[in-house]
Amino acid sequence: MRFVIALILLVLTGCDKETPAEGQAQPASAENSGATKRDDILLVSANGARAMLSYRFAGQKAPTAPFADADGQDVTLADFVGKPVLLNIWATWCPPCKAEMPTLDALAELEKDRMAVVAVSQDLDGRAPVLAFFNETGVQNLEPYTDADNAILAAFNNSLGLPTTILYDSAGKEVWRLTGGVEWDGAEIAELLRAAD
């Protein structure tokens, strides 16, 4: 009789594939983050900028596509593994990209010891328009990374709108992504950035 009761309890509680076993590692996913795959979250900054926060791709590895550093040398996101990386994909011809750049620059200074803030321009003309924009707006904490071949966009199947910002943890796994511009100095953003710790 005890065996039958134990078997019934096992069937009722131990075989639920929807509920992970306690202590069992689970892949990062929208469900594990509190959002569902359909539930993107609209963020509206004080300046009216709007962005969509998504956890749909949480757990995916960072792309290996190369882009150029300030000296024109190829780098990849793997060069930053060991601390969280905030990848911002932008262009100088994109108004919301330009609008968020001053607060992203301030964030780069604020977080320089904890995370890498990597803003990669998709300008086809390379560094010249990026340097001109940085000089014009006083951006001084962001390195002028460029991707004139749009290799980063190609790594995402050319499906990203600009700006898109993706937070990766220190192992190079995606935590969340934002599509659209935000003010990077807000309390809500600071809390979201801690998700990579």
In this structure, is residue 165 part of a structural domain? yes
In this structure, is residue 22 part of a structural domain? no
In this structure, is residue 86 part of a structural domain? yes
- Residue 128: which H helix or E strand, with range? helix 127-137
In this structure, is residue 8 part of a structural domain? no
What is this structure's pTM?
0.80
**Looking at the 3D structure of the chain, how many domains does it have?**
1
Q: Structural domain of residue 149, as residue ranges? A: 28-196
Give the span between the Cα atoms of 88 and 11, in whole angstroms.
48
User: What CA–CA distances, in Å, run from 28 to 22, 116, 178?
Assistant: 15, 21, 17
Expressed in angstroms, the distance from the first to the final Cα of the chain is 50
In this structure, is residue 19 part of a structural domain? no
In this structure, is residue 2 part of a structural domain? no
Cα Rg, the chain, nearest whole Å: 20
In this structure, is residue 15 part of a structural domain? no
On whether the CB atoms of residues 65 and 151 are closer than 8 A, the answer is: yes
| CATH number of the structural domain spanning residue 139 | 3.40.30.10
pLDDT tens digit sequence for 114-160: 999 999 999 999 999 999 999 999 999 999 999 999 999 999 999 99
Give the span between the Cα atoms of 87 and 76, in whole angstroms.
11
In this structure, is residue 21 part of a structural domain? no
pLDDT tens digit sequence for 41-93: 999 888 888 899 999 999 999 999 999 999 999 999 999 989 999 999 999 99
On whether the CB atoms of residues 126 and 91 are closer than 8 A, the answer is: no
**Does residue 178 surpass a pLDDT of 90?**
yes
pLDDT tens digit sequence for 3-56: 333 333 222 223 332 232 232 222 333 333 344 445 799 998 888 888 999 999
What is the number of helices (H) and of strands (E) in the chain?
Answer: 5, 9
Q: Nearest CA to 65 among 82, 77, 57? A: 77
